[in-house]
Chains A and B, each alone.
Chain A
């Protein structure tokens, strides 16, 4: 007689647990934003929304990233905090899922000058920001890492990746991870989901689905499109942001990994 828990039952239990944790984290962020962050307090209180998921207006409480950028000064909580946006936020945490590589590697983020360094890299990894449009002073270091046989992962838009691999000696050995926006999700085989205001939101995994970085990012469907919330960023607080101006889509669960994935109409 067969005993024990089947694989499907185990996935179901994991999904239930992840779902509960995920929603709880989101509700906590919404309540905290309402209680402490001027922008959300004003918007939701005067729009009639005081509880999570009790939306008001056509966007169900969600807000475009353009509006968030305009209101940056009011996204810091009353106790104070930074108001600058971090376009590389979350990249380090997604790296092991984006391009599994062994050893101590080098992550190259192809960003415009002025972006913050990637700070949440896996143990042993180093990171650098490279402006792909110029002969960046970091290129020799990349070449040295490649020469020493260390893995180098480059993340950026397709065009920037092409320019970077052309400029660096041994560029054909660079592991490319193209950056995708929510309205242009493709089938890979590699990719990370990015927004210039919220940072890195998800990753294309080996199952072929776009996984959300669910411990740091929450997503929900609204009439105006998919709305994303950063669960761990205190300031600037970003809650229910309509990435890409509001892209229609839905949040589902990966049958293999039992964690949330996004599907868009375009993707």
Chain B
């Protein structure tokens, strides 16, 4: 018997055994319950954490964004706001700040039947929680392997932009030698002062967030001009929120997060990158720079060096600029999105 509990990280205590599950499921720091709480408070479409259990043991987890609209100009109401059951909403199972990684995870060794049971239980729990206004659930950017578990009758599956992955790095020197000359020339930061370390307590979250949100806004505008794949029916379906200073404050202070900053001689922040370090693989989560800085290649090279030096098996680097990342030796890992309309939620089982 699989049960699913839904926890609102803004108001509910951390689920029992959550840290043990995080460790066993080898989750990246973005799954930290406190970070999820900060993210939820400053989100237009706040995430909740659903934990699937078989007996007492947690076997799977979902980060589910409760979305009200794509054009909302306000944050989500606080958790104690009286619920309007008929207000249209949908759920996106998605890690908005780490889009190349699945927000639907299971312990190693859980077979597909148990995963399907957990998915159905999750959908029923979401229906119970959100009431008649729920339009459906979208599993966004999940690993290709999970496609068969999530798909089935009435469920729409679509392959989306893959995530860039660099595996079997070997040595950083060998990787650099393999780069085209034009890219190798762009390594280094010129006269900028570069500092890179884990658990950075010397950084100002607001300074980082301002640079990052500006960078993301430029990136989004470019993607929109170039016809990004989230353009559906002429709508700009962006359910993400700005990254809040307090979120970055908490993130960069973690011992498993490596932050690299580039500063001018005057001390102004020219660029920074955030690398999530994990024994299963590192993830280059954020990079932000002033326009035209040209520091992305150097930030990427530092991430590769860290991955190689620590002996991590792979490095992921997001879903954008895949052609440029290919020039740096990155391959891709396929991702799918699965949309489940309300009538099929938890009722008709996914195909076997």
Contact = CB atoms under 8 A, between A and B. Distances in A.
Interface residues of A, number: 16
A220 interface: no
Nearest to A32: B74
A46 B246 contact: yes
B73 interface: yes
Nearest to A73: B210
B42 A38 contact: yes
Which of A34, A36, A45, A77 has most chain B Cβ within 10 Å? A45
A148 interface: no
Contacts of A78: 44, 72-75, 242
A41 interface: yes
Contacts of B42: 38, 41-42, 45
A79 B73 contact: yes
Contacts of A38: 42, 242, 244
B178 interface: no
Contacts of A207: none
Contacts, number: 39
Interface in A61-101: 70-71, 73-74, 77-79
Contact of B206 (A46, A50, A71, A77): A71
Contacts of A42: 41-42, 244-246
B38 interface: yes
A42 B126 CA distance: 27
Chain A residues touching B, majority SS = helix
B78 interface: yes
Contacts of B206: 70-71, 74
A35 interface: yes
A70 B206 CA distance: 9
Chain B residues touching A, majority SS = loop
A8 B73 CA distance: 46
A71 B74 CA distance: 19
Interface string A219-263: 000000000000000000000000000000000000000000000
A41 B44 CA distance: 11
Interface string B67-87: 000001111011000000000
Interface string B226-245: 00000000000000001011
A36 B72 CA distance: 10
Interface residues of B, number: 17
Nearest to A77: B73
Contacts of A71: 206
Contacts of B74: 35-36, 78
Contacts of A34: 75
A73 B74 CA distance: 17
B75 A41 contact: yes
A199 to B, nearest CB: 24
A78 B210 CA distance: 14
Contacts of B246: 42, 46
A248 to B, nearest CB: 29
A35 B210 contact: no
Given A42-B246, A74-B206, A50 B78 contact: yes
A45 to B, nearest CB: 4
Given A41-B75, A78-B73, A78-B74, A46 B38 contact: yes
Interface in B292-328: none
Which of A38, A77, A79 has most chain B Cβ within 10 Å? A38
Contacts of A46: 38, 41, 246
B245 A36 contact: no
Contacts of B72: 78
Contacts of A74: 206, 245
Which of A35, A42, A71, A77 has most chain B Cβ within 10 Å? A42
A68 to B, nearest CB: 12
Contacts of A45: 10, 41-42, 78
Contacts of A73: 210
Interface string B34-70: 0000100110100000000000000000000000000
Contact of A36 (B38, B75, B78): B75
B244 A36 contact: no
Interface in A17-68: 34-36, 38, 41-42, 45-46, 50
A35 B38 contact: no
Nearest to B250: A46
Contacts of B75: 34-36, 41, 78
A79 B206 CA distance: 19
Contact of A41 (B41, B73, B210): B41
A70 B242 CA distance: 18
Nearest to B241: A78
Contacts of A35: 74-75, 77
Nearest to A44: B41
A42 B242 CA distance: 12
A54 to B, nearest CB: 12
8 contacts: A35-B75, A36-B75, A42-B244, A45-B42, A70-B206, A71-B206, A78-B44, A78-B72
Interface of A: 34-36, 38, 41-42, 45-46, 50, 70-71, 73-74, 77-79
Given A34-B75, A50-B78, 4 more contacts: A38-B244, A42-B244, A42-B245, A45-B78
Interface of B: 10, 38, 41-42, 44, 72-75, 77-78, 206, 210, 242, 244-246
Closest 6 CB pairs of A and B: A45-B41, A79-B73, A35-B74, A36-B74, A78-B73, A42-B246
